[in-house]
Amino acid sequence: MSGPLQPPPLDAVGCDAVDFDPASFDPVTAAYTVAPQRWFPAIHARSPVFLSGRYDAWMVFDYAVGKTVLSDLRFSRDRSNWERPGEQRAVERWPLTEVLRRESPFVNQAKHRANRAMYSGAFKPSAIRRMEHIILGVIEEYCAPLRSAREVDLVALLASIPNTVISRVVGIAPEAQAEARFKDAASQFLLASSPFGSDANRDLAEQGTGYLFDAIGELVERRRRQPADDLVSGLLEGAGDRPDVGRDIVLSVASLISAGTDTTRHSAALALRTLLRRRDVLAQLRRDRQLLDAAVLELLRYEFPAKFLVRFATEDVRIGDHLFEQGKMVLTTLHGCGWDPQVFDDPARIDLGRDQRRYPVFGHGEFYCLGAHLAKFQLKHIIAYFLDHLPDTALFDEQRVEWEAPDMVLRGLASMPLTLR
Average pLDDT over residues 50-57: 94
Does 222 map to a domain? yes
Confidence of residue 414 (pLDDT cuts 50, 70, 90): very high
> Who wins on pLDDT, 324 or 14?
324
> Who wins on pLDDT, 400 or 87?
400
CATH number for the domain spanning 358: value is: 1.10.630.10
Confidence of residue 367 (pLDDT cuts 50, 70, 90): low
pLDDT above 70 covers a percentage of the chain that reads 91
pLDDT above 90 covers a percentage of the chain that reads 57
Does 420 map to a domain? no
Q: Is the separation of the CB atoms in 308 and 332 below 8 Å?
A: yes
Whole-prediction pTM value? 0.91
In degrees, rounded to 5, the angle at the alpha carbon of residue 118 between the alpha carbons of residues 115 and 123 is: 115
Confidence of residue 277 (pLDDT cuts 50, 70, 90): very high
Q: Is the separation of the CB atoms in 7 and 29 below 8 Å?
A: no
Does 8 map to a domain? no
Does 416 map to a domain? no
pLDDT given at position 397: 96
Confidence of residue 87 (pLDDT cuts 50, 70, 90): low
- Number of domains comprising the chain: 1
Does 149 map to a domain? yes
Structural domain range at position 298: 52-338+347-396
Which residues, including other chains, have CB under 8 Å from residue 206's CB and lie 6 or more apart?
93, 94, 95, 96, 97, 192
For the ranges 160-174, 199-213, 354-368, the lowest mean pLDDT is seen at 354-368
DSSP of 242-287, one letter per residue?
Answer: -TTHHHHHHHHHHHHHHHHSHHHHHHHHHHHHHHHH-HHHHHHHHH
Average pLDDT over residues 178-207: 81
Range with top average pLDDT, 17-21, 22-26, 228-232:
22-26
Looking at the DSSP assignment, which residues form a beta bridge with residue 324?
317
Distance from the Cα of residue 238 to its chain's centroid: 26
pLDDT given at position 365: 63
Does 40 map to a domain? no
Average pLDDT over residues 255-276: 89
Does 80 map to a domain? yes
Supply the angle between the helices 262-277 and 279-287 in degrees, to the nearest 10: 100
Does 7 map to a domain? no
- The answer on pLDDT for 328 being more than 80 is yes
Render pLDDT for 124-144 as a digit per residue (tens, 0 to 9).
788 888 889 999 999 999 999
